[in-house]
Amino acid sequence: METLLFAPQIDKRFGKPTIYSRIGLKQEAIGFDPKMDLFEHVAESLETLKRLKCILIDEAHFLSKDQVKQLTKITTELKIPVLCYGLRSDFRGEPFEGSLYLLAWAEELVEIKTICHCGGKATMNLRLDKNGAPVGEGAQVQIGGNESYVSTCMKHFRLALPSFAEETEVFYENV
């Protein structure tokens, strides 16, 4: 099946944008940045890829709101399925823009489960510094792999980042 593969241009760890699987498979991909019009790129690709059947986007959390909207246009107007793989939230527990709109507009969601070191379901991404200590502040985007991030359950995320576990302002009044 002919598929267009996209990966973020920002990840320069391996040279050209490439999708790597955990089992060692790899495939070169088209690099996207926040300015790329994904709908236009796919529509233009149809001129040469007559049998295009699928779009796959890795690290989809790096998409912009407009790009997620373009993906909905690909599925509805071009009638090409789009598969997106990415994170729900960053190392602070905050949503990525791309993830926020993918979660809101996706027609189907399939969760790939990950396990915390305790054996529980991991839902959070904990960033580690060079000494392996948890990090709770910094830029949202920091490219890194297994050496920079660890998946944890909410309990262990809260234990590792006391700043996340602090009480937050209440936005309603008791009646």
Active site residues: 59
Structure tokens at 117: 């070191």
E runs forming strands in 88-131: 114-115, 121-122, 124-128
- Rounded to whole angstroms, the Cα distance separating 52 from 78 reads 10
Bridge pairing between strands 124-128 and 18-20: unpaired
Spatial contact of 135 and 99, defined as CB atoms under 8 Å apart: no
Instruction: Name the DSSP class of 173.
Output: -
Structural contact between residues 109 and 60, judged by C-beta atoms closer than 8 angstroms: no
Taking phi first (over 0 means left), then psi (-120 to 50 degrees means alpha), and beta for anything else, what does residue 75 get? alpha
